[in-house]
Amino acid sequence: MHDISRSSARIAGIGYYLPEKTLTNADLEKIVETSDEWITTRTGIKKRHVVAEGEALVDLVVRAGNEAIADAGIIPEEVDLFLVATATPEQPIPASAAIAQPKLGVVNAVSFDISAACSGFVYALNVGRQFIMNGTMRNVLIVGAECLTRYVDWSDRKTCVLFGDGAGAVVLQAAPEGEGILEIDWKTDGTLSGFISMPGGGSRFPPHSKESIDQRLPFIKMMGNETFKVAVRAMAGLSKEVLDRAGVKPEDLHLFIPHQANQRIIQAVGKRLGFRAEQVYSNVASVGNTSSASIPIAMTQAIREGRLERGDLVMVTAFGGGLTWASALIRY
């Protein structure tokens, strides 16, 4: 009998959560010197979701995690490993996964966070996959979640228009060869770590230091033009490598779900890979850049819209601070 535990990992359940409150481009016009036309032309974003007062990261994690667990048809106690991918944790200590663990009821799960910025979810897929493949874990819950609007400098019109809050989750289980995650790869280039960063709040610039406050260091900083060029090249290059290793041609792919950074990047990566417009999924207009949450949110929405069904080939790819990037080819 074939041992599927050593073959691959499949997405057995999926879900997402977006805060009820939204922030439109018209709303932003009242906060910072910008316009709907300026934001839409450069990013494709029309609105983003924002956590409410009293709402924080773990609240998002629990909502999305509960959906994925229910969709997988398991009970929380059956989860063996629980990973939270985030760049905006609930607090520095302990891990957000540890705080969320009892609230989700995944009391038997080893729980920890993964920090790889916008690539965090795909990084977590690769980590979780290893434990499924070696047979030590049966159910792995992965949640990509962000409260980015809590770390946005609302005086910086180039970055404050980009980010939104939300969470997306999947449950991984064993799958036979030829199903689930077929190929996956990840990369890091720390020489470019200054392209996307949040310098303040750590041991270099503690949150209470005068320098940190005066220089507005506990906020997201981004070198936009430089990041755009590297992001397109990196995501397209790694995605092509993954497709080639799997022997899959662009026309064989049912759907391509890139990290929802901005519409220009999404279109540029899709074009470079030779995908038709209808193969490329985008929800950035309605949610903005939700970092590690963007791919599982987009994938869940694509499924609910009927654009992704069981057995379809889907590729996901992400790029974020680190710099980090990752791509995965999945038979959903």
**Three-class SS state of 51:** coil
Q: Which residues contact 249 (CB under 8 A, 6 or more apart)?
A: 243
Query: Distance (Å, rounded) from C-alpha 133 to C-alpha 36?
Result: 47
Extract the tokens encoding 110: 């080893």
Q: Which residues contact 4 (CB under 8 A, 6 or more apart)?
A: 174, 175, 176
Give yes or no: 289 in active site: yes
Q: CA torsion 186→192→198→202, rounded to 10°?
A: 90
- The closest of 287, 234, 232 to 299, measured between CA atoms, is 287
Give yes or no: 25 in active site: no
Give yes or no: 118 in active site: yes
Q: Any idea which residue has 């392209």 for tokens?
A: 195
CA 227 to chain centre: 17
User: Which residues does residue 173 pair with via DSSP β-bridges, in sequence order?
Assistant: 10
Catalytic residue among 25, 118, 139, 147: 118
Catalytic residue among 25, 160, 259, 283: 259
Q: Is 159 exposed, middle or buried (0-12, 13-18, 19+ CB in 10 A)?
A: buried
Active site residues: 118, 259, 289
